[in-house]
Chains A and B, each alone.
Chain A
Amino acid sequence: MSQPAASLRGRAAGLAQPLPPLLAEAEHLAGGVLLGEHGRRRPGLGDAFWQYRPAMQGDTARAIDWRRSARSDQHFVQEKEWQAAQSVVFWVDRAASMHFASQGHPEKADRAALLALSLSVLLVRGGERIGLTDMANPPASGTLQLERVARHLETQSSADYGAPDTTMLPAHSRAVFLSDFMGDLAPLETALTTAADRGVKGALVHILDPIEEAFPFDGRVVFESMGGTLQHETRRAGDLRARYLDRLARRKAALEALTRTTGWRYHCHHTGTPAASALLWLYHAMERQR
């Protein structure tokens, strides 16, 4: 295992340590054939004992629980609880803009990867399947998949601002998009509507650096995007502050409106605050119980 991936996994495991294993919300698991931890509160395929019922016509002899039956004159069949697994796919923005970090704070990309992986750790512990939208193989469970995800998170994108990729988004799965959403919103809108069409619900985590929220600049400044494709020069950066903040607020509002229409949830997280708070929000967002 390469060094950064190992370190990321270690930190993710540490961050996830205080939380119990996470079972992602699953409404429509009928289509899922894979076994998992989601007890369906009805008999079916699974490991956990559900009930004894009298043997009926059609039950094979193998199905009879002889130990139970021996205590009475009837034959009983042991039924198991139907258990299934949910898939959770992540889109972790790894574009150039995510590599911005102000003094004393981690990079946004780092925080996004950390959150995604620590949530994955919790999900895997809960028996769920995880994956990345831009990974070739479908969501899977187990530590091997964690390893694959961690490695995949190392790959970089050369684009200045990222756009979500919906190729690997199984129907009725759950999705988490982590990005700074600084770029064009149209691809995101497409992705979310596509996801909503497929019955995928999830959460948007808007990761921002404290500097991006404060805009503490003044004087003559040439602003450049991280990739260097965009430039903006101003003589008095201080004058731009109010208008910049206004635009940022509008963008947040737009994201929130988008999530509302598609049934997703939206959270804004700053790298200046501990990752645990965002992880806790994600935990509750994913396990939402009605």
Chain B
Amino acid sequence: MFGLGLIGFTTPLLLAALIALPVLWWLLRAVPPAPIRRRFPGVALLLGLEDEDQETDRTPWWLLLLRMAAIAALILGFAGPVLNPDPPRDGAGPLLVFIDDGWAAATDWSTRIDAADAALAAAEQSGRRAALVTASEAPEVPALQAAGTVRARLAGLVPVPWSPGFDAALGWAAGLEETETLWLSDGVARDGRGALYKAFNAAGVVTILEPPAPRLALRPAVFENGVIALTVLRNRGGPQDVVVSGFGPDPGGIERELARVEMEFPDDDTLSTAQLSLPPELRNRVTRFQIEGIQSAGAVSLTDDSLKRRRVALLGGAGAEVLELLSPLHYLRQALVPSAEVIEGPMGELIRASPDVMILADVATLAEPDQRALAEWVAQGGLLLRFAGPRLAGSDAGRGGDDILLPVRLRVGGRNVGGAMSWGEPRALAPFSEASPFFGLALPDDVTVSAQVLAEPGPDLAARTIASLADGTPLVTRKTLGDGQVVLFHVSANAEWSSLPLSGLFVEMLERLAVSTRPSRPEKADLAGTSWLAEHLLDGFGVLAPVPSAVALPGEVMVAAAGPDLRPGLYAEGDRRLAVNVVRGGDVLAPARWPAGITPGWGELRGERPLGHWLLTLALALLAVDILAALTLSGRLRSVALILAAMLVLTAPGDARAQSEALISAAGEVTLAHVLTGDGRVDDIAKAGLRGLSDHLFARTSVEPAPPVGVDLESDELSVFPLLYWPVTEMQAAPSPAAYARLNRYLNAGGMILFDTRDANVAGFGATTPTGRRLRALARPLDIPPLEPIPADHVLTRTFYLLSDFPGRHTGTGVWVEAAPADAEQAEGMPFRNLNDGVSPVVIGGNDWAGAWAVDAQGAPMLPVGRGLAGDRQREMAVRFGVNLVMHVLTGNYKSDQVHVPALLERLGQ
């Protein structure tokens, strides 16, 4: 590299081209801009005219300067200027770049990559070989390649969402030969760091780069005593404020920030705790907590069932006065209150409270409406948990036929084993089968069952049994009902029939059924026998992404630390969710410790800044200016200026003003309007059609409309237009909901829309034409009353002309208007009924009326209608329909009042 103090050049030889500049100067000066040759008959008039201003033949000096500057910038740009060129790295041996790529490095990942890139670029310049290894990789021996090749890999590196250890690196580092090492450390204390440093140091010089900013991490949120405890960790001291936000879906399903807590680190603490009190509804929705502004997997803690509290409704047998300890609900309350929100009350209220789980303890029968409501609730995804008991055993629920709210049929009576009046020992439980949700739970020896209700054998009994006694009789049965399920414990919920409610197994079983949730993280033993599927996984930057397909992981590994085998994320088993977070409950962060005398730094690299691209951009800009200047000089700029002006006009916000002026004039006079469809041809025809109709109205009636306007449904005010003509095209985009709201308001306020499918076919409403389908789609959100084909006595047939049909460019298809009320009756002595007041808000047809009305600027018809005289007649009828329509809009049912003429005449006669 060739340096000039602050600025150096990578290819200084190119600068020799600067010598050519004076030659270029002379060349450019010698060649003036070429003239345009034009054929022009008026030249006879020009002969003898002298130019007023004698301008030099040569290129003007400022243009020359411009071009010279552009060329000079090009030459300098290609010569590769560099600001603050780095002094070349010495050392010729291979270079090893070792990157800590755990979550802690994610925050400033790009600067790390830049630093590595700079080092590799320097190595590339001096032709060294290099290797690039990240801590999460485990190569046998780092492969040495050309530095340029290694450099290409850098862009593809991403941090991993766990803390890779140094075990793998220690394996190969011992065998390193004579290598210089650049270690990009993440600055977090980790086992083996010192050993690895020693290994590297043995092989050659080690440079350690470590960003000075503290690393932040968030421990999993813990729910205790009704509040959420959040703990933020860091590895360095110093006052610092952090903000932790809780995210989750809002009621609309869109992810939002639901909670926010600000925390501060006093001076040198590496741990800060905050407590967050959230209402249960909000708390159950939070899916993750995140440190604001930190893009790292460690700054995200996913929440799982441990934060959630299910709402459980308890309903016991009615009205029995029993001792507290004998109450069927006592043990359930004891098991559930710590981990769930328990509600009790009458059946109807319980269902209205929309619980997650409903527990019926020894309730035999329910009232018919309650039963139906309960079944519906279960079908919508509820979990109904029933316990047997004396009442259920004594009733005939589930006997002889299927009870929808019982998973199996029950035999009459029950059975007693091991009691005073029976033989045999109380039965123990059989181990849970693999298909059972309880699989993996340890069976205490002391859980025995002395009485139970028995299931009637049936074909599906085995499939529905999820727990059974040692002798094979079903103990817990389950069936699905709709989206929900019904579970029956064949024993009572108190300790009368079995010792199950007294054991810890009872709580665990409730938990497995997702009735209750565990307040703390499950232990390894709790997860035995379960298998978990990843639903969402975190990447190194802390972004949560859904997993399309995943391998099930056994429950035992779920308690391990996150790593390549257990990627952090959200795992699911049935209804249960388990979060695997990068940082675990007990973790702390500490700064990395290096051997004495080693101070890792970050700021040594001064930062080369290549200037070439700036100079090249400048050269391009200058050349662009030169093009404009040359065009101006030679008189060719006119079209360019026109294009620029057109672009300016197109982007200028003059539209609103024009629109508001059109609105004001429309408000002052009767103005017909058409809906802009976006199809230029259709819009032109519609406008020309309304212009033709306006002309006819002007000539024939006292209505003197202003020139028609096209309206954009999205932005324009509609209320000033009495009539909207809406030509329907296939490709028309549906208006936005806001536009529909305004259209409905327009219709309700007395506006009228004339829909025209223009295909002569749709008004039959057997519509299969494309525009007909489009019309249906467009009109569906509109507030349109029932329609009927226009009756012969509709007021539209006589508002100005007496009409019997309504042709446009097409004839014969029907026209639909608002249906007459059913009680309309034939008026006495009149050919029409006594119809409703008001104007039909829509008129729908397919006759292409605008096409028949359309006139060009000279007032001549634009499109042919029919043939010969019959065609003229048809066009006339189309115009008459238009006149009648506008009259109908403007005068309403005025002509219908003729129905009263006989009565008026009679009164006049008296």
Given known A-B contacts A235-B55, A236-B51, A221 and B38 have beta carbons under 8 A apart:
yes
Q: Is A264 an interface residue (CB 8 A)?
A: no
A221 to B34, CA, bound (A): 9
Q: A222 near B38 (CB under 8 angstroms)? A: yes
Give B618-636 as 1s and 0s: 1 = Cβ < 8 Å from A's Cβ atoms.
0000000000000011111
Q: Which residues of A contact B637 (CB under 8 A)?
A: 218-219
Given known A-B contacts A219-B635, A220-B635, A243-B49, A225 and B41 have beta carbons under 8 A apart:
yes
Q: Is B44 an interface residue (CB 8 A)?
A: yes
- Give the segment of A84-92, A144-152, A167-175, A209-217 that binds chain B: A209-217
Q: Which residues of A contact B46 (CB under 8 A)?
A: 223, 232, 234, 240, 244
Given known A-B contacts A233-B35, A236-B51, A219 and B42 have beta carbons under 8 A apart:
no
A243 to B43, CA, bound (A): 12
Q: Which residues of chain B from 630 to 656 have a CB within 8 Å of any chain A CB?
A: 632-638
Q: B36 near A251 (CB under 8 angstroms)? A: no
Q: Is A191 an interface residue (CB 8 A)?
A: no
A226 to B37, CA, bound (A): 12
A209 to B637, CA, bound (A): 22
Q: How far apart are A271's CB and chain B's nearest CB, in angstroms?
A: 12
Q: How far apart are A230's CB and chain B's nearest CB, in angstroms?
A: 5
Q: Is A224 an interface residue (CB 8 A)?
A: yes
Given known A-B contacts A232-B46, A240-B46, A223 and B51 have beta carbons under 8 A apart:
no
The closest CB in chain B to the CB of A240 belongs to B49
Q: Is B47 an interface residue (CB 8 A)?
A: yes
Q: A222 near B51 (CB under 8 angstroms)? A: no
Q: What's the dominant secondary structure at chain A's contact region?
A: mixed
Q: Which residues of B contact A251 (CB under 8 A)?
A: 45
Q: How far apart are A41's CB and chain B's nearest CB, in angstroms?
A: 38
Q: Is A10 an interface residue (CB 8 A)?
A: no
Q: B43 near A230 (CB under 8 angstroms)? A: yes
Give B21-65 as 1s and 0s: 1 = Cβ < 8 Å from A's Cβ atoms.
000000000001111111111111111010111010000000000
Among A222, A223, A247, the most chain B Cβ lie within 10 Å of the Cβ of A223
Q: B43 near A221 (CB under 8 angstroms)? A: no
Q: Is A283 an interface residue (CB 8 A)?
A: no
Give B186-209 as 1s and 0s: 1 = Cβ < 8 Å from A's Cβ atoms.
000000000000000000000000
Interface size on A, residues (CB 8 A): 38
Among B32, B36, B53, B55, the most chain A Cβ lie within 10 Å of the Cβ of B36
Q: B43 near A223 (CB under 8 angstroms)? A: yes
Q: Which residues of B contact A215 (CB under 8 A)?
A: 42
Q: A180 near B38 (CB under 8 angstroms)? A: no
Q: A220 near B33 (CB under 8 angstroms)? A: yes
Give A185-227 as 1s and 0s: 1 = Cβ < 8 Å from B's Cβ atoms.
0000000000000000000000001011001111111111110
Q: Which residues of chain B from 287 to 316 have a CB within 8 Å of any chain A CB?
A: none
Q: Is A182 an interface residue (CB 8 A)?
A: yes
Q: How far apart are A143's CB and chain B's nearest CB, in angstroms?
A: 27
Q: Is A161 an interface residue (CB 8 A)?
A: yes
Give A95-131 as 1s and 0s: 1 = Cβ < 8 Å from B's Cβ atoms.
0011010000000000000000000000000000000
Q: Which residues of A contact B36 (CB under 8 A)?
A: 219-222
Q: A224 near B634 (CB under 8 angstroms)? A: no
Q: How far apart are B442's CB and chain A's nearest CB, in angstroms?
A: 94
Q: How far apart are B641's CB and chain A's nearest CB, in angstroms?
A: 10
A31 to B37, CA, bound (A): 54
Q: Which residues of B contact A238 (CB under 8 A)?
A: 635
Q: Is A272 an interface residue (CB 8 A)?
A: no
Q: A182 near B45 (CB under 8 angstroms)? A: yes
Q: A219 near B634 (CB under 8 angstroms)? A: yes
Q: B635 near A237 (CB under 8 angstroms)? A: yes
Among A235, A236, A240, A244, the most chain B Cβ lie within 10 Å of the Cβ of A235
Q: Is A54 an interface residue (CB 8 A)?
A: no
Q: Is A289 an interface residue (CB 8 A)?
A: no
A255 to B573, CA, bound (A): 101
Q: B49 near A222 (CB under 8 angstroms)? A: no
Q: Which residues of B contact A98 (CB under 8 A)?
A: 41
Q: A226 near B53 (CB under 8 angstroms)? A: no
A251 to B47, CA, bound (A): 14
Q: A219 near B41 (CB under 8 angstroms)? A: no
Q: Is A239 an interface residue (CB 8 A)?
A: yes
The closest CB in chain A to the CB of B32 belongs to A220
The closest CB in chain A to the CB of B47 belongs to A232
A81 to B49, CA, bound (A): 61
Among B40, B41, B44, B53, the most chain A Cβ lie within 10 Å of the Cβ of B41
Q: A212 near B33 (CB under 8 angstroms)? A: no
Q: Which residues of chain B from 269 to 283 have a CB within 8 Å of any chain A CB?
A: none
Q: B40 near A100 (CB under 8 angstroms)? A: yes
Among A220, A224, A233, A239, the most chain B Cβ lie within 10 Å of the Cβ of A220
Q: Is A34 an interface residue (CB 8 A)?
A: no
A183 to B41, CA, bound (A): 9
Q: How far apart are B53's CB and chain A's nearest CB, in angstroms?
A: 6
Q: How far apart are A178's CB and chain B's nearest CB, in angstroms?
A: 15
Q: A230 near B635 (CB under 8 angstroms)? A: no
Partner of A235, one of B34, B47, B51: B51
Partner of A221, one of B52, B632, B635: B635
Q: Which residues of A contact B33 (CB under 8 A)?
A: 219-220
Q: Which residues of B contact A219 (CB under 8 A)?
A: 33, 36, 632-637
Q: Is A248 an interface residue (CB 8 A)?
A: yes
Q: Is A231 an interface residue (CB 8 A)?
A: yes
Among B39, B43, B51, the most chain A Cβ lie within 10 Å of the Cβ of B43
15 A–B contacts from the bound complex (CB under 8 Å) = A161-B44, A182-B42, A217-B40, A219-B36, A219-B634, A220-B633, A225-B44, A232-B49, A234-B46, A235-B53, A236-B52, A239-B51, A243-B49, A244-B42, A251-B45
Nearest 8 Cβ contacts at the A-B interface: A219-B635, A218-B635, A97-B41, A220-B35, A223-B43, A247-B45, A219-B634, A232-B46
Other A-B pairs, 13, CB within 8 Å; known A161-B41, A217-B38, A235-B55: A98-B41, A161-B44, A180-B41, A183-B44, A219-B635, A220-B32, A220-B33, A221-B35, A234-B46, A237-B635, A244-B42, A248-B42, A251-B45
